[in-house]
Structure 1
Amino acid sequence: MYNDNPTLEGITKHVDETKQGEVFFTEGKKGDKHFYIESYGCQMNFSDSEIVASILGEAGYQPTRNMEIADLILINTCSIREKAEDTVRKRLRIFDKVKRQRPGTMVGVLGCMAERLKSKFLEEEQLVDLVVGPDAYRDLPNLVAGAEEGDKGVNVFLSREETYADISPLRLNSNGITAFISIMRGCDNMCSFCVVPFTRGRERSRSAFSVIAEATDLFERGFREVTLLGQNVDSYKWENPETNTTVNFADLLKMVAHVHPDLRIRFSTSHPKDITDDVLHTMAKYENICKYIHLPVQSGSSRVLELMNRTYTREWYMDKVRRIYEIMPDCAISSDVIAGFCTETEEEHQETLSVMEFANYSMSYMFFYSERPGTVAARKYEDDIPLEVKKRRLQEIIDLQTPMSYRHNQKDIGKTFKVLIEGESKRSDADWKGRNSQNKMVVFAKQGVHSAGDYVYVKINEATSATLIGEMVAGPGA
């Protein structure tokens, strides 16, 4: 059976439940300086790597897939979970071996771990030459030049203004069909378990005009789907200095939807407290805004949610889910779920399971709680749930979600969806793969004259928990 999981597509490659890694590359000419970059964590990190590639390109560096010829090796890091940090440390030791074999090669750490562990990387482990935080990428050429002279290049300054709005990201290793657009940076939500506000700073939104210009440029270059990115996209707010008016997220969605009817729009991630009826009605109104919302619940217990500082209750979240389905009955909802947060009881764990069933998630990202140094939870609460209990609760969450995803997909058998072809299926070059509006991966046999970037109608004949399998038909009513 096919298993083209939608989380594996685009420019991210899912490696395990806590890490994503991909190398961006194009080969330069002989004599050029080369850089090699790996990215881990959220989609924002992958978007940032495209910004880094653009900045380094202007400084005369060409990307390469071969770290052994690279003059500069970079790793864009994630601090969300301990396992992700362990993976980065292992990669740094591999990079160090390359560096020893090729004197003069520089190694740099970018992103969230860079901000959080700058002194440890430079002083204790001595594995890196550069440590650059998420808001300091413009300074990379200067830091690299300093490192070439023997200095340690460090800039982890958190800005209240930097959005990189004027930098055109290099869409390296892209499928040429889908792309990310970062619309805002930082986060003002102080969830007690999360390190992001400390590593990425306060929220600030890009100019709506720059977002529209980037979306327009992508469409004109053949891209047919954009994902608007932010730690909390629903809190997007840009003040237009020319008109003294405010553009909110619903306004921005409308503006991007008007770029072209054939440009699909997705977005990630939403905080339940900020996704408004205005956003939902906008999604329902425009066919090219995908009917899919990633709406992290984290826990189904009101008491645990209060400890997490999620600012909503179990009942409030369930009401929001009801409202989404009321306005968009065909919408698919996915989630993030944390098992074993501090003091969580068995009864509260069961409450999480019941909320998952109520919401009928199409899929979920599921983890057990991993205490992150510097967070409010690390300072205020004891991580008192034994690891074996966390793992058992996580397995119960997975055991609930997997058949729920299967049933969710089984209900699509017999339906016809408009699908954007993204490329050939991983299993067979005789099949296309693409996603429908609900973010579900669809695999279907090639027929007729079609290519990546085309929209086709596919009738679903089979389904697994991760993939819909069907055949092309003439139209939605076929």
Structure 2
Amino acid sequence: MLEIVDKTHDESRQGEAVAPQAGDTRVYTKKFYIESYGCQMNFNDSEIVASILNKEGFGATRNAEEADLVLLNTCSIREKAEQTVRKRLTEFKKTKKNRPGFLVGVLGCMAERLKAQFLEQEKLVDLVVGPDAYRTLPALIEEAETGQKAINVLLSREETYADISPVRLNSNGVTAFVSIMRGCNNMCAFCVVPFTRGRERSRDQYSIIAEATDLFENGYREVTLLGQNVDSYYFVDEQKDETVTFAGLLEKVAAISPLLRIRFSTSHPKDITDDVLFAMARHENICNYIHLPVQSGSTRILQLMNRTYTREWYMKKVDRIREILPDCGLSTDIITGFCTETEEDHQDTLAVMEYAHYDLAYMFAYSERPGTLAARRYQDDVPEEVKKRRLAEVVALHRRHTLESMQQDVGKTFSVLIEGVSKRSEDDLFGRNDQNKVVVFPKGNHQKGTYVKVKIEACTAGTLLGKVVD
């Protein structure tokens, strides 16, 4: 899940290993270990994979040493992400020499992109499974157990895994992801997603509402609706002769209970509508927080990126959000050093940051990905030291903005959903407010999964500090 950060965001964040699900008393004959890298969609996919494997007699373990099957759910968004995964695979390859029957597999975006290289050239894995082929895992595992190399990376125009109930891995029991769609139709020049996850398709509204309802009835108090571009959600209900847009879906999920908080990610600026903003304004339990990636503040660079909007258009969208939702938290993605980016383009990006004053930003230097439109059309011609210098300037400006944003909240009182014990002190609890800011406060007698009112007394650049008030 996303937390407030004041440093360069790394999409290839360290993979997280699964833990057995709380309350699961079933006896499993085999064990699997899975590490997830990259975006929230990957972590949600790992929960789908866990559900499929559980039905085949595999139980989750945190210890790779005792696993019969190791899976890495991978990310291709940056070169560093792929380097991290390749290093881990090399480590597991050494383990295989001393473990007869031990299987290693790659899932996700790298599986789609580097299938032949993993299986044949480097012989790092036993099975390769793309994002739309997880239902075939049991058959692929059987094939790999015979010594054959097993692979399925076929993309689908229909697969949404709507009927599979995800196993909540590493869950805090309070917050959960709910996937509402898969794939992407936007051909942003820098992005591999359309090639690794396929075309856009929306999950039916009934399975989404059922999953969110089940989570609420099992004690969860926040769901994040996930998609590469949630605002383009579109479901045609032929039985009711009804078309459900994202705004309509938000309304339906919000109606489950006023105690269930709703978040969503990610929005494409061109697709988020006034209907969505008004739905957020009508429902107190739809959080006032929007992730609105800008990528660049230069119209020329945005056109090269195929983002389909100008800097002026984007700034007007920010104005509209603030007009309808005055207290809305705003976050973004920023790429520095995209092909042909000049110093003037870079200054345009800094200017848009000054205009929007983001509460949270994920910032990184451009990393060319093979197969993308940018790799085919443009030369990656901005020197690495220039990319890094511009990135450092973007990060420094964002740190100033986040500190200013936090300071403005000192003295205010927020409703906070308690997510657990603070990482820094056993005596403190933490949660997030409506705007997705992390709030830390003394534990007292308060319990995880409940709402409290917290008055903010101090802050850092990344955290609000306060105490519970009546």
TM-score with structure 2 setting the length: 0.97
Structure 1 residue aligned with 2:347: 350
Q: From 444, 456, 463, give the equivalent of 1:467.
A: 463
| Structure 2 counterpart of 1:85 | 82
Q: Any conservation in 2 of the 1:18–1:41 contact (CA below 8 Å)?
A: yes
Partner-residue secondary structure (3-state), 1:222: coil
SS in 1 for 2:352: helix
Q: SS of 2:97's equivalent?
A: helix
Q: 1:112 aligns with which of 89, 98, 109?
A: 109
Mapping of residues 225-304 of structure 1, within 5 Å: 225-304=222-301
Tell me the distance in 1 between the aligned counterparts of 2:386 and 2:415: 43
Alignment match, 1:156: 153
Alpha-carbon distance between aligned partners in 2 of 1:435 and 1:166, rounded to the nearest angstrom:
31
**Structure 1 residues 51 and 17: alpha-carbon distance in aligned structure 2, compared to 1, 3 A threshold:** closer
- Work out the CA distance in 1 between the residues paired with 2:109 and 2:197: 7
| One of 303, 306, 313 as aligned partner of 1:309 | 306
Residue 416 of structure 1 aligns with which residue?
A: 413
Structure 1 alignment gaps of length 5 or more: 9-13
In structure 2, the partner of 1:431 is: 428
> Which among 334, 337, 342 is matched to residue 334 of structure 2?
337
Shift in Å at residue 5 of structure 1? 8.4
1:23 is aligned to 17
Aligned mate of 1:182, from 174, 179, 182: 179
Distance 1:175 1:193 in 2: 34
CA contact (8 A) 1:233 1:267 kept: yes
For residues 305-328 of structure 1, what are the alpha-carbon distances to aligned partners after superposition, in whole Å with 9 as ceiling and x for unaligned? 000000000000000000000001
Select the residue among 134, 145, 148 that pairs with 2:142.
145
Written as runs of structure 1 = structure 2, the 5 A alignment for 1:337-416 is 337-416=334-413
Q: Is the 8 A contact 1:20 1:42 kept in 2?
A: no
Q: 1:114 to 1:440 in 2, by over 3 A?
A: same
Deviations 1:125-159 (A, max 9, x none): 10100000000000000000011111111000000
d(CA) in 1 for partners of 2:176, 2:439: 19
Q: What RMSD, in angstroms, separates the aligned Cα atoms of the two structures?
A: 1.5
Contact 1:421-1:432 at 8 Å conserved across structures: yes
- Could you say if the C-alpha distance between residues 274 and 15 of structure 1 is closer, same or farther in structure 2, counting changes exceeding 3 Å? closer
- 1:146 and 1:19 map into 2 onto residues whose CA distance is 31
Equivalenced residues, count: 465
Q: CA deviation at 1:6?
A: 2.0
Aligned match for 1:171, one of 162, 168, 173: 168
What do the CA deviations read for 1:234-267 (whole angstroms, capped 9, x no partner)?
A: 0000010202221000000000000000000000
After superposition, the C-alpha distances for 1:368-397 in whole angstroms (9 at most, x for unaligned) are 000000000000000000000000000000
- Normalising to structure 1: TM-score of the pair? 0.95
The residue type equivalent to 1:451 in the other structure is Q
CA distance 1:55–1:5, shift in 2 (3 Å): closer
Unaligned runs of 5+ in 2: none
Where in structure 1 do 4 or more consecutive aligned residues deviate above 6 Å?
A: 27-31
Counterpart in the other structure of 1:455:
451
Cα separation, 2, equivalents of 1:241 and 1:300: 42
| Segment drifting more, 176-185 vs 31-40 | 31-40
Tell me the alpha carbon deviations over residues 25-78 of structure 1, each in whole angstroms, 9 at most, x when there is no partner.
Answer: 218878720000000000000000000000000011001111111110000000
- The one-letter code of the counterpart of 2:462 is A
> CA separation in 1, counterparts of 2:69 and 2:120?
20
Q: For the Cα contact (< 8 Å) 1:5–1:441, is it kept in 2?
A: no
Partner of 1:46: 43
TM-fit CA distance, 1:7: 5.1
Secondary structure at 1:411's aligned position in 2?
Answer: helix
Distance 1:401 1:99 in 2: 45
Give the equivalent residue in structure 2 for 1:11. none
3-state DSSP of counterpart to 2:435 = coil
Alpha-carbon shift at residue 17 of structure 1 (Å): 5.4
Equivalent residues of 2:11, 2:39 under 8 A apart? no
Deviation of 1:428 (Å)? 1.0
Q: Is the 8 A contact 1:5 1:466 kept in 2?
A: no
1:211 aligns with 2:219: no
Percent identity between matched residues is 67
Against the structure 1 CA distance between its residues 15 and 66, is the aligned structure 2 distance closer, same or farther, given a 3 Å change threshold? farther
Q: Distance in 1 between matches of 2:244 and 2:339?
A: 38
Matched, 1:98 2:92: no
Note the C-alpha offset of 1:224: 0.2
Deviates more, 1:237-246 or 1:71-80: 237-246
